[in-house]
Structure 1
Amino acid sequence: MTPIARPGSRQHGVRRRFGLLLVPVLALALAAGAVACGSSDSSTTGRDVIDTLRVGVIGSTNVISGPVGFAHQRGDLVKSLKPLGVNKVEVFSFPNGPDLNQALIGGRLDVASYGDTPALVARGSGLGTRLLTINQFNNNAGVVAKDPSITSLDDLAGKKIGVPKGSYIDRYLQGALQEKGIRATLIHLYPADQEAPLSSGEIAAAALPAVIPSVSLQAFEAKGFHLVDSVYRDHPKLAGTSATVSSDEFLAKHPDFGAAWQKLNADSVRYAKAHWDDYLDFEVKNSKADPQAIRDAANPNGYSEEPFPSAGVELLRGTKEFLVAQKSIRDDFDLDGWFYRPSQSADKS
């Protein structure tokens, strides 16, 4: 198993070096309620009427990406959910999945949209969540380096690699290293914090997302860092998926929400594919990345009107099995039983 570097706690001001604060994923997930997105009166269990739907996303801006985000921009998200008492949507951004899990299970969020790995770890840690949709699948990621002598993962044996821990990028990297029997030290770094230590040599390589709207891999390549390894080129079975989940409590309180969200997702995907250029314009507008990188990374085949497309489920199942083997998932669980089905009770485990 690849050893993971776990730096100690530091003040936020020094977190831009590779020794960022790294709290174990399970501890983050189980520290319910530590992140407040509103007052205690607005928690999931305290509202009979949704009124303001609170959505958590990963990133630096409070924007929902993907076809559902495109629908929200057009006003269709609120329109679709208005019969359920939704009059407004508030979006909260988080740097990574474990932080978002805190807010979701603490009742400060109603819906969470993020990568498959933190969503699976949360469920496997005993948190009461339900998968509403697989938003996107076959997500690419890759590893870049500055040193020209590093041309493959083999050249990274014994070296430091920056990676956003607890993400689908982390799962890909650990899986790729394990496949080749390579031991490296993984340093918890968000994509925005990787360029400086990679340029200075503090880390030998950086593992980065390559899917819209997070096209960090393409951005680093444009700056002269070279590709060492990628999902699409070298490890297609390690492709990631992104997911939307909600808590059992919220779905039990609002039993019509799950089916309504799944219909919203299907309608949003159908519309985005029929207006693909307009959809890409939406993603470009909401990203600081190079517009061409966004367009090049776009993959209409990575979206499905079905809430649980078979290709996405296969990838999700492989990720869960890997996380169980790595003991990142504390208690294994039935994947199909995690999927929200309108015919099932929301609180059925």
Structure 2
Amino acid sequence: MLRQLARTALTLAVLASAVACSNNDDGSDGYTLRIGATSPTGTPAGSLGWGDKEGILAEQLKGAGVDKIEYSFFQSGSDVASALFAGAIDVAAIGDNPALRARSRDPKVVLLALDSVNGDAWLVGAKGGPTTIQGLVGKSVTAPQGTIRDRAAKQLIDAAGLTGKIEVRDVPTPESIAGLSSGQIDATVVTGASAIELQHKGFPIIDSLSRHGLGSTGTNIALSPFTDEHPEFADSWRQAVTAVNKNINENFDDYVAWVAETDGTQLEFVKESTKVDEFNTEPFPAQGVDQLEAAYEFLNADGSLENQYSVREWAGAQS
């Protein structure tokens, strides 16, 4: 309960700060773009962070009237989506799970672009525990509820034909990793360099999305009142996202070195967990839309969506 209250207080504080920032008026003709995202470091991370560091986002968005970019960071994609609905931010850069849920809640949610595709997630077991997913029958897997990691856990269990035979428990990732180390947790789902670091420490990789041809996407969403007010923004945002990813493709070694330094992890872990083909150079690549639709279908079958809609129309109408 204390953790939940603290998280709520932090989210409200960030919301208040973001709303306050939005009321600044420096008298210029342009406007301040407020972007919300998750970040373990409290700074722009991933491709968004690279685009900010290299000045690509600012340069590409000038034509749409953006003369300043401000960031707000949250603990989860669901919190970012809540900030979008609250009017505290203009763009939410989040995973596909919260974006799909947000669209099912309100048809005014606009899919601006996919900023990444082929995202992987790894099912990591405890030392001395099961090394196959079949060995987890009667046991449990942990993942934060409503996240890509939660969906990945359920997808991997489903792919093994073991739905209903392995419990998925709602446990935050830091506590899950601590539980793995102490032997109190059987397995958890981890993304990024953390999974590879655990593997190097002797924790077995039981399964992963990529082994089954599955993957996740990074999504950028806004609300239609904002895009209607700024009609040039959506196209400029798509150009910005693809320009950032093209730059990452061309400077991949520099990018992964920056990620390792920013996240405080070893370069080899970042290199092993990050692939060039994650950074799409068109806003709605066919493979990414397929992955987004597969995520939608899984969430819909799971009863996680409030209303049904067509993912392809949602993406196609914007392309």
Q: TM-score range by the shorter chain?
A: 0.7 to 0.9
Distance 1:33 1:104 in 2: 15
Instruction: For residues 282-340 of structure 1, give each alpha carbon's deviation from its aligned partner in whole angstroms, at most 9, with x where no partner exists.
Output: 22222122211112222111222210000111111111111111110121112133227
SS of residue paired to 1:280: helix
Corresponding position: 1:193 with 2:171: no
Instruction: For residues 232-269 of structure 1, give each alpha carbon's deviation from its aligned partner in whole angstroms, at most 9, with x where no partner exists.
Output: 23x223x1111111111211121111000001112222
Question: Quick check: which one's helix share is greater?
Answer: 2
| Alignment partner of 1:204 out of 186, 203, 207 | 186
Fraction of identical pairs, as percent: 27
Distance 1:48 1:130 in 2: 27
> Which ranges in structure 1 are unaligned for 5 or more consecutive residues?
1-9, 16-20, 24-30, 344-349
Q: CA deviation at 1:51?
A: 2.7
Q: Which residue of 2 aligns with 1:232?
A: 210
Q: Which residue of 1 aligns with 2:132?
A: 152
Q: Which residue of 2 aligns with 1:114?
A: 94
1:186–1:306: structure 2 CA closer, same or farther, 3 Å change rule? same
Q: Which residue of 2 aligns with 1:181?
A: 162
Q: Which residue of 1 aligns with 2:121?
A: 141
Distance 2:286 2:12 in 1: 32
| Alignment partner of 1:62 out of 31, 42, 56 | 42
TM-score (norm 2): 0.88
Distance 2:301 2:35 in 1: 31
Distance 1:32 1:330 in 2: 24
Letter aligned with residue 185 of structure 2: I
Instruction: For residues 92-124 of structure 1, give each alpha carbon's deviation from its aligned partner in whole angstroms, at most 9, with x where no partner exists.
Output: 222211111110111111111111111101111
> Which ranges in structure 2 are unaligned for 5 or more consecutive residues?
none
Letter aligned with residue 183 of structure 2: G
Q: CA deviation at 1:205?
A: 0.9
| Alignment partner of 1:298 out of 274, 279, 304 | 274
In the alignment of these two chains, the number of paired residues is: 312
Distance 1:184 1:342 in 2: 39
Instruction: For residues 160-211 of structure 1, give each alpha carbon's deviation from its aligned partner in whole angstroms, at most 9, with x where no partner exists.
Output: 322122122211211121232242332223322322222223321111113x
Distance 2:28 2:224 in 1: 15
Contact 2:130 2:136 in 1 (8 A): yes
TM-score (norm 1): 0.81
1:135–1:155: structure 2 CA closer, same or farther, 3 Å change rule? same
| Alignment partner of 1:132 out of 112, 116, 124 | 112
SS of residue paired to 2:206: strand
Corresponding position: 1:282 with 2:258: yes
Corresponding position: 1:11 with 2:7: no
Letter aligned with residue 182 of structure 2: S
Distance 1:242 1:203 in 2: 28
Q: CA deviation at 1:220?
A: 1.6
1:208–1:146: structure 2 CA closer, same or farther, 3 Å change rule? same
Letter aligned with residue 42 of structure 2: N
Instruction: For residues 101-152 of structure 1, give each alpha carbon's deviation from its aligned partner in whole angstroms, at most 9, with x where no partner exists.
Output: 1101111111111111111011112262111111111111111112424121
Structure 2 matches for 1:253-264, cutoff 5 A? 253-264=229-240
SS of residue paired to 1:148: coil
Distance 2:17 2:32 in 1: 12
Letter aligned with residue 113 of structure 1: A
1:318–1:120: structure 2 CA closer, same or farther, 3 Å change rule? same
Letter aligned with residue 198 of structure 2: F
| Alignment partner of 2:227 out of 244, 251, 269 | 251
Q: Which residue of 1 aligns with 2:199?
A: 221
Distance 2:166 2:5 in 1: 24
Letter aligned with residue 210 of structure 2: Y
SS of residue paired to 1:339: helix
